[in-house]
Structure 1
Amino acid sequence: MSDQPLLRVVRGTPDDVELAALTAVVAVAATASGEEETPASSAWSARTTLVRRQLDHGPGAWRASGLPR
């Protein structure tokens, strides 16, 4: 390891509790990946399947209404 500290107080005189809080925040920020993990979703749990799609109108609409989309 290097002889230089990871954190350096530039101004003020923090006590041990404040330094511990700062160290904890920096440690958590360093390990965070920046991406939130999203659970895998499937077609069974999709909310869009609960909503009826818009019905088309015009010539041949009755025939197209029976076709899967």
Structure 2
Amino acid sequence: MFKVVRGNPTPEDLAAALAVVQARAAAASSAPAAPQQLDEWADPARNVPGRRLPHPGPKAWRTTYWPS
């Protein structure tokens, strides 16, 4: 619902304004939402190791930080 506060618009002016508002509303509702890009630090894939985990054994703790 539109209400004219000032001025005296013609019916054609009101129809043009309504057409613009309706077209923009239709375009906004039909446009797919843009995917949000995650920050590299917030990426869950960063926590998944890209290599195999070391097997338990002597000095296995070294390979958890310094890969060979």
The two structures have a TM-score, normalised by structure 2, of 0.39
* More RCO (CA 8 Å, sep 6+): 1
- Between Structure 1 and Structure 2, whose CA radius of gyration is higher? 2
